[in-house]
Amino acid sequence: MIQAFDTIVVGAGMVGAALALGLGQQGFNVALVDRASPREFQPGAAPDIRVSALSAGSERYLASLGAWPGILAMRATPYQRLAVWDEASSPLRRLLPSRLTEVEFDARRLGASHLGHIVENSITQRALWQAAEAEPGVTLITGHSVRDLSQDHRGARVTLDDDRTLEAQLVVGADGAQSRIRELAGIGVTRDQYQQQAMVISVRYRGAVEDITWQGFYPTGPRAFLPLRPAGDAYPGECWGSLVWYDQPERLAQLKAMNNADLIAELHRQFPERLPELTHIDAKASFPIARQHARHYSQERVVLVGDAAHTINPLAGQGVNLGFQDAQCLQQLLVEARAEQQDIAGLALRQAYEQRRRPANQRMMLAMDLFYHLFSNRIPPLHLARNLGLGAARALPFARNQVARYAMGLDEQLPAPIQGILNRLPRLGGL
């Protein structure tokens, strides 16, 4: 039997689930498919190892979908301050005033209650699934992966691993960085694997919930702290937190092989001094990091969103925030196309989507690299200045602050002079 829908969204991660929910609310008949099955939420359990900093823009989007209260009812930690600084042991560092080596943003100075929230990915996903399940326009199909895809001028068909066939005008690939839909549609990628990997460590620490998320840039990569909630009655006076250590894969393998007591000692030796006193390590995992961009965001009746379309260096935590922007943009275009009685997989819509989202995603990819270079001093400042040109060199102190604001999701636009710097940054062609 063939089940017919307006749209099939493959991948019910944070981005796919948000898009399907939004489309369902706009009266579309949507199938939302994921190979994973939902996990129960356990209030007292240790946090999931995968967490994301959600920007104020993402919070507004999730609130507009009605999913934000569900996230808050489970767990989310607001942060009021955000700091980044250079930990490079360069002789220059001691000569520079700290305002040049450290940048701190404070919500109070920006007239806001908070800068963003740290949320476990599974909680954002669960809140979206709950809302999607309550939405009559959305059919959630979990525990099944996509086996095949075919498309022609009449429509697209997706075959699942239980031989079920779904049919729709449009298929959205929201199935992550290794997207099967992207592969089945024959869309290639450009990919640049960073030499570093990211190791995430779930920890408990002594002290109150921190109101700050921070990141120190070392020559081998950044080391970051993200605050989470109190650890509960069983551990009075302790809180959960998430650490991220970027380094060479061999170094991270060495760290992963350590027992927890040795790793805690090493974290205190190697992390910035302001790391709170760690009491326990709950979990650790490392992730390869790559800058990957689909060559096209669509092919006939297939459109890509989120990590299926682009992955970026997670050092400023913008991946899912960009994915949510893709979802919002695509939803708006689909609603407009339907109102004008156009084909929702038509060329005009797909071109408009690509024109709006590709430059924005590309800008953020480039900003990540500039952000990294400006803080880590991997390229000596004079060399960097020479590469960027004299005008850009004069703009560097200004650039540092502006790029950090943009890269961390506080500003939506980069000022034009900084965009000029991005265009001149070496080794970033071919995206």
Ligand X SMILES: Cc1cc2nc3c(=O)[nH]c(=O)nc-3n(C[C@H](O)[C@H](O)[C@H](O)COP(=O)(O)OP(=O)(O)OC[C@H]3O[C@@H](n4cnc5c(N)ncnc54)[C@H](O)[C@@H]3O)c2cc1C
Residue 33 interacts with ligand X (CB under 6 A)?
yes
Residue 172 interacts with ligand X (CB under 6 A)?
no
Residue 227 interacts with ligand X (CB under 6 A)?
no
Q: Which stretch binds ligand X (CB under 6 A): 28-36, 203-211, 269-277, 359-367?
A: 28-36
Nearest to 30 by CA among 20, 22, 17: 20
Complex with ligand X: residue 14 or 278, whichever CB lies closer = 14
Complex with ligand X: residue 80 or 321, whichever CB lies closer = 321
**In which residue are the tokens 């829908």 written?**
5
Q: Which stretch binds ligand X (CB under 6 A): 37-45, 173-181, 273-281, 340-348?
A: 173-181
Q: Which stretch binds ligand X (CB under 6 A): 8-16, 41-49, 259-267, 353-361?
A: 8-16
Least separation, in Å, of the C-beta of 82 and ligand X? 12
Least separation, in Å, of the C-beta of 162 and ligand X? 12
Q: What contacts 166, CB < 8 A, 6 or more positions away? A: 2, 3, 4, 5, 8, 31, 33, 141, 157, 158, 159, 160
Nearest to 49 by CA among 288, 281, 316: 281
Report how far apart, in Å, the C-alpha atoms of 15 and of each of 49, 173, 321, 377 are: 19, 10, 9, 34
> Taking CB under 6 A as the rule, which mask of x and - marks residues 393-422 in contact with ligand X?
------------------------------
**Cβ distance 321 to 186 under 8 Å?**
no
Complex with ligand X: residue 101 or 124, whichever CB lies closer = 124
DSSP-derived letter for residue 300 is: T
**In which residue are the tokens 């599974």 written?**
122
Nearest to 122 by CA among 34, 233, 236: 34
Residue 317 interacts with ligand X (CB under 6 A)?
yes
Binding residue (CB under 6 A) for ligand X from 200, 201, 203, 395: 200
Residue 247 interacts with ligand X (CB under 6 A)?
no
Least separation, in Å, of the C-beta of 387 and ligand X? 29
Q: Give the torsion sign (CA, 372, 377, 383, 389).
A: positive
Q: Which residue is nearest to ligand X (CB)?
A: 13
Beta strand 77-79 with 298-299 is unpaired
Nearest to 215 by CA among 197, 204, 205, 227: 227
Residue 314 interacts with ligand X (CB under 6 A)?
yes
Residue 11 interacts with ligand X (CB under 6 A)?
yes
Report how far apart, in Å, the C-alpha atoms of 287 and of each of 122, 180, 248, 253, 265 are: 17, 20, 11, 11, 22
State residue 191 phi and psi, 5-degree precision: -140, 135
Longest dimension (CA), the chain: 72
Least separation, in Å, of the C-beta of 192 and ligand X? 15
Least separation, in Å, of the C-beta of 353 and ligand X? 15
Q: C-alpha angle 49/55/57, rounded to 5°?
A: 140
> Taking CB under 6 A as the rule, which mask of x and - marks residues 321-360 in contact with ligand X?
x-x-------------------------------------
Q: Which stretch binds ligand X (CB under 6 A): 33-41, 73-81, 94-102, 358-366?
A: 33-41
Q: List beta partners, residue 148.
A: 159
Binding residue (CB under 6 A) for ligand X from 215, 318, 325, 361: 318
**In which residue are the tokens 């298929």 written?**
171
Least separation, in Å, of the C-beta of 320 and ligand X? 4
Q: Which stretch binds ligand X (CB under 6 A): 11-19, 203-211, 256-264, 339-347?
A: 11-19
Binding residue (CB under 6 A) for ligand X from 216, 221, 241, 306: 306
Q: How many other β-carbons are positioned within 10 Å of the β-carbon of residue 285?
A: 13
Least separation, in Å, of the C-beta of 428 and ligand X? 20
Positions that interact with ligand X (CB under 6 A): 10-16, 33-36, 52-53, 121, 145-146, 174-176, 180, 198, 200, 287, 306-307, 314, 317-321, 323
